[in-house]
A and B are shown apart, each in its own frame.
Chain A
Amino acid sequence: MTDYAIRAEGIGKEYKIGVEVDRSPTLRDAIVRAASWPARVLRGEAGGPTEKIWALRDVSFEVRQGEVLGVIGRNGAGKSTLLKILSRVTEPSEGYAEITGRVGSLLEVGTGFHPELTGRENIFLNGAVLGMKRAEIQSKFDEIVEFAGVAKFIDTPVKRYSSGMYLRLAFSVAAHLEPEILVVDEVLAVGDAEFQRKCLGKMGEVAEAGRTVLFVSHNMSAILRLTEKAIVLDKGRMVFAAPTREAVDYYMASGFSQSGERAWSAEDVPADAAPFRPIALRVRDPRGAVIDSVRATEPLTVEIEYELTAPIQGLRLGVYLQTVHGEVVFTSFDTDTPEMFHKHGTREAGRYVSRGVIPANFLNEGQYLLGFNASVFRVKRYFHDENALAFTVDAMGAAGMQWTEVRLGPVRPALNWTIEAAG
């Protein structure tokens, strides 16, 4: 007897993409095609021959009863396709999956919501769409409304809701679903920080209640917190399966990171960037070494190397720092200060390096992404790359590390606290 909740064996999904190649080269082909047209219409096949791509190929894994599995991968890696197959929205083209138990799928919150209906009506409708029985919805109705915090507007059409209220209500219905297996996609990517925390809490409860959860997210910290095991998908294939921490490390290492340096060759740069040409973006430690993992207690230097083939007036080079969840931590340009701004009004043709220092005791632990931008304010953006380079901050020795709790927020400054008796 198995205690597997989900067992997937060589699952693959092929999609036709509607590219018409080489239409009917000969009259004979054309006639054959015309003759078989009614049959093809009945089978629902449109137009000419189509190209096929595998969105998912040969994916096998098992999830035990009560286990929480994370699925990570970049956009287009096949995560959503996998979830769609497991939640029976679409069929696999090959392979099979065995699922033991009632599956509740949250590929999106608010599925079936109708803008003209009131909050109350939508709770019932959405609940039914998600597979809840009417009696079940009725018994949880108050809880759902309270969790969403929309009690006052419950009889207002949801089209009058703010987007935040709408999402809270939608998530709230979904969160009160009680299937044996829960399949969740990225629902946490929405809503304000407060609500996201509430959602994560709810997900944690679900997992602790011993239910099987399959969780897809871009939010690595959520994956780390909620899941025990994770699989990494890349271009439709499963490339890694391991305990979550290892899987996240693998993903981060294989993904954005280019070992502390991102270099651009001439082909990587679009033609319209001229006369600007980026050469490299680097992160250096105080000793000058190019590194992809920095310590929170040390300053780090961001270095942009570039070339100008003609002078540019008013050029500014800058970086965006983002967390892996996509929150922007800050934006900074090399001519931010008045002195720099006046001194570098026009940059002549030639090769340059702009350096900026991120102070010590500033960033929190975690993964960060550096974006890069070269522009003249309100005139032209020569070049930009939002995810140019990733690096990790290790919090060893940073402020507050005597407590093991997770510190929220992208920064972790060592503030200049004083404590004195106010007697």
Chain B
Amino acid sequence: MQPSKGWSPLDLADLWRFRELAFFLTWRDIKVRYKQTLLGASWAVLQPLLQMFIFNFLFGSLANLPTDGIPRPIFTFAALLPWNLFSNALNEASRSLVSNRNMITKVYFPKLLIPVSAVMSGIVDFSIAFVILVGMMVAYSVKLTAAVWALPGFLLLALMAALGVGLWLAAWNLHFRDVKYLLPFLSQFWMLASPIAYPLSNIPAQWQMVYALNPMVGVVEGFRWALLGGEVFPSMAVGLSLVVSFAFLVSGLFYFRRLERTFADTV
């Protein structure tokens, strides 16, 4: 081994060698998530449900924003699921390096595993909440369409976006703990800038392109489209989301790799 400079290759072979560790880290994050809480995993259901009630009240009863003709509870809940998946993943990933500093300074392994497993562990919460959504869809007799097969694709897109941004933030967080204070604000702002309480169609047409640069626009709209059915596939939003998420992911990976060698010294 010797000093290295500049950009490094991603070294995917190394990642593959440590795949079991990735599995164990994810498994750990899932296991400890609701340890020593009274309600345990019910939080995975309660959180989006409570959010949904608040949103319905604020944006439905008070502001009366449109929902494209979908029953409001389902309209909101179906958007909250991918959003929560994204925002939890982003939060966990950004904090993951600092909270695992002990491992970083004591053992060698590809550090990329840490944010990756932090992102993956959110899938369990999502799955639990998804069961509730299915129940609600039955209750409101919303019929499934053939597009439902596209759901996993949108999930993947949400995780990709979260990991991409999370990698940047996680690496920054090691040097500048400002990230910790930035995060709550960022997620709040980001949520309002995503079509959760309102549909994309509510945005003036000439601004939709700009608006859809937010990768979560494509994810949320796509998610609704796949689940609740819509006449038109939000191709512009999804396409932009793909491009932006991918750009975040690739740049994040390389940036992360570049800073990786300094992690143990700065954490």
Residues of A within 8 A of B35 (CB): 116, 157
Chain A residues positioned under 8 Å from B109 (CB to CB): 129, 131
Q: Which residue of B lies closest to A128 (CB)?
A: B24
**Considering the chains assembled together, what is the distance between the CA atoms of A130 and B107 in angstroms?**
7
Known: A105-B108, A108-B106, A116-B36. A91 touches B24 (CB 8 A): no
CA distance A44 to B3 in the complex (A): 17
Residues on B with beta carbons closer than 8 Å to the beta carbon of A130: 107
Determine if A121 is an interface residue (Cβ-Cβ < 8 Å). Answer: yes
Chain B: CB-nearest residue to A95: B2
Interface stretch, picked from B41-49, B133-141, B225-233, B257-265, is B257-265
Chain B residues near A128 (CB-CB < 8 A): 20-21, 23-25
- A408 smallest CB distance to B (angstroms): 31
Q: A91: which of B3, B105, B107 is its contact (CB, 8 Å)?
A: B3
- The answer to whether the Cβ of B31 comes within 8 Å of any Cβ in the partner chain is yes
Expressed in whole angstroms, the Cα–Cα distance for A47 and B7 within the complex equals: 23
**Which residues of chain B are within 8 angstroms of A30 by Cβ–Cβ distance?**
none
Q: Which residues of B lie under 8 Å from residue A105 when comparing CB positions? A: 106-108
Interface residue B266 (Cβ < 8 Å from any Cβ of A): yes
Please determine whether A117 and B2 come into contact, CB atoms closer than 8 angstroms.
no
Complex-state Cα separation, A129 to B25, whole angstroms? 9
Q: Which of A90, A94, A95, A131 contacts B264 (CB 8 A)?
A: A90
Asked whether, in the complex, the Cβ of A134 is within 8 Å of the Cβ of B20, the reply is: yes
Chain B interface size range: 35 or more
Task: Indicate whether B132 reaches chain A with its CB closer than 8 angstroms.
Answer: no
Partner of A92, one of B1, B28, B36: B1
On whether the beta carbons of A107 and B106 are closer than 8 Å, the reply is: yes
Rounded to whole angstroms, the CA-CA distance of A41 and B168 in the bound complex is 12
The reply to whether A121 and B31 contact each other, CB–CB distance below 8 Å, is yes
Q: A196 within 8 Å of B by Cβ?
A: no
B32's contact among A42, A87, A107, A117, by CB below 8 Å, is which? A117
CB atoms of B31 and A94 under 8 A apart: no
Q: Once bound together, how far apart are the Cα atoms of A105 and B1, in whole Å?
A: 15
Query: CB distance A44 to B28 under 8 Å?
Result: no
Q: Are A114 and B28 in contact (CB under 8 A)?
A: yes
**Whole-angstrom CA separation of A96 from B4 in the bound complex:** 11
Interface status of A125 (Cβ within 8 A of chain B):
yes
Inter-chain contact B108/A112, CB cutoff 8 Å: no
A96 partner residues in chain B, CB cutoff 8 A: 1-2
A93 engages B107 (CB within 8 Å) = no
Whether the Cβ atoms of B261 and A91 lie closer than 8 Å is yes
> Which stretch of B50-58, B169-177, B215-223 is in the interface?
B169-177
Residues of chain A in range 72-108 having any CB-CB distance to chain B below 8 Å? 84-85, 87-97, 99, 103, 105, 107-108
Does A111 lie at the interface of the complex (its beta carbon under 8 Å from any beta carbon of B)?
yes
CA distance A15 to B262 in the complex (A): 10
Task: Tell me which residues across on chain A come within 8 A of B20, comparing CB atoms.
Answer: 128, 133-134
Q: How far is the CA of A134 from the CA of B27 in the complex (A)?
A: 13
Is A189's beta carbon under 8 Å from chain B? no
Cβ of B64 < 8 Å from any Cβ of A? no
Chain B interface secondary structure, helix, strand, loop or mixed? helix
Q: Decide if A89 touches B108 in the complex (CB within 8 Å).
A: yes
Across-interface contacts of A44 in B (CB, < 8 A): 171-172, 174-175, 259, 262, 266
User: How distant is the Cα of A112 from the Cα of B103 in the complex, in angstroms?
Assistant: 6
In the complex, B201 has a CB within 8 A of chain A: no
- Decide: B3 and A129 in contact? CB cutoff 8 A: no
Bound together, the chains give a CA A116 to CA B29 distance in angstroms of 11
Cβ-based interface call for A124 (8 A): yes
A190 close to B (CB within 8 Å): no
A358 in contact (CB, < 8 A):
no
Verify A124–B24 contact, CB threshold 8 A: yes
> Which residue of B is nearest A157, CB measured?
B35
Name the residue of chain B whose CB is nearest to the CB of A136: B20
Q: Which residues of A contact B106 (CB under 8 A)?
A: 89, 105, 107-108, 111
Task: List B70-118 residues whose CB lies under 8 Å from chain A.
Answer: 102-109
Restricting to A333-380, which residues have a CB under 8 Å from any CB of B? Answer: none
Contact partner, B175, options A46, A90, A157, Cβ 8 Å: A46
Q: Is the CB of B2 within 8 A of A107?
A: no
Which B residues touch A88, using CB under 8 A? 1, 108
Complex Cα distance A91/B261, Å?
7
A111-B102 contact in complex given A95-B2, A99-B1, A133-B20, C-beta closer than 8 Å = yes
Give bound CA distance, A30 to B107, whole Å. 40
- CB proximity of B37 to chain A, nearest CB, Å: 11
**Whole-angstrom distance between the Cβ of A254 and the nearest chain B Cβ:** 29
A132 closest partner in B (C-beta): B20
Closest B residue to A127 by beta carbon equals: B24
* Distance A85 CA – B20 CA, assembled complex (angstroms): 24
Residues of chain B contacted by A91 (CB below 8 angstroms): 1-4, 261
Q: B103, B176, B265: which contacts A46 (Cβ < 8 A)?
A: B176
**Smallest CB gap from A41: residue in B:** B176
With most chain B CB atoms within 10 A of its CB, the pick from A84, A88, A103, A129 is: A129
CB-nearest residue of chain B relative to A112?
Answer: B103
**Cα separation A409 to B266 with both chains bound (whole Å):** 42
Name the A residues within 8 Å of B104 (CB-CB).
89
Cβ-closest 4 pairs across A and B? A96-B2, A88-B108, A128-B24, A116-B35
Could you list 17 further interchain pairs (A-B, Cβ under 8 angstroms) beyond the known A44-B262, A107-B106?
A88-B108, A89-B104, A89-B105, A90-B264, A92-B3, A96-B1, A107-B107, A108-B102, A111-B103, A114-B28, A114-B31, A116-B35, A125-B28, A128-B20, A129-B21, A129-B103, A131-B107
Between A and B, 19 residue pairs with Cβ closer than 8 Å are A44-B175, A44-B262, A44-B266, A87-B107, A89-B104, A89-B107, A91-B261, A92-B3, A103-B108, A108-B106, A112-B102, A114-B31, A116-B35, A117-B31, A129-B21, A129-B109, A131-B21, A131-B107, A134-B20
